[in-house]
Amino acid sequence: MKCGKDLTNEDVYFDSRLRKRKLEILKTKGLTEDDITYGWCQDCYKTEISKIKIKKMYYRIDTQEGRFNLLDPSEERVSNWIGIYDGDELIKAASLLSESQIFSDDDTPEEIADTLENELSRIIYSSEEEDIRDVINFLRENAKELRKGKLLKDIEDTEQKIEELQRLKEKLFSELRNIENDIKS
């Protein structure tokens, strides 16, 4: 027990949403799942959890126009790609060639899954069919978590852009002040 608190009259704290992290936490203390005598009061548990970076799943969409057909280089198509990330790690991806862009960055996981399934049904053969179906199933099974993660990632990216723009603004004001000072002297 980290704090030495007697937990006989209160529950040992493990958040069910973070059940997968339980073993990781125990391993940091050199313990295993079988060590049932180890637990945390709520305050100690929150302290331990805050030390572990919890990854968030999100998805990214990318489209590129190009000539992808080696047999007919004049044919222009659009490559529609979806990547699913856990933190910075790409865990699943799928792409389809089509006449035009089939989904956008604003589409929900369910919409992307439906679009992929619809496009796949129109294709006679795709060497990536199994991967695409895997992505479709993953999108549907994890839709809420993926959408939440994407929104959080978009907010994070927007905050970074704001910080970059703020630094640029400060630099431009500094240059402007230098020029004004040069003009005055």
Summarised one tens digit per residue, pLDDT across range 69-87 is 788 888 888 889 999 999 8
Please state the pTM of the whole predicted model. Answer: 0.61
Amino acid letter for position 11: D
In this structure, of 67-71, 93-97, 144-148, the range with the lowest mean pLDDT score is 67-71
Minimal CA–CA distance to 61: which of 147, 145, 121?
147
Three-point CA angle 169, 88, 112, nearest 5°: 95
pLDDT at 37: 42
Q: Is 65 helix (H, G, I), strand (E, B) or coil?
A: strand
Mean pLDDT of 48-60: 70
* Res. 15: pLDDT tops 50: no
Q: Report the chain's mean pLDDT, rounded to a whole number.
A: 80
Give domain limits for the chain. Answer: 1-54, 55-185
Mean pLDDT of 149-164: 91
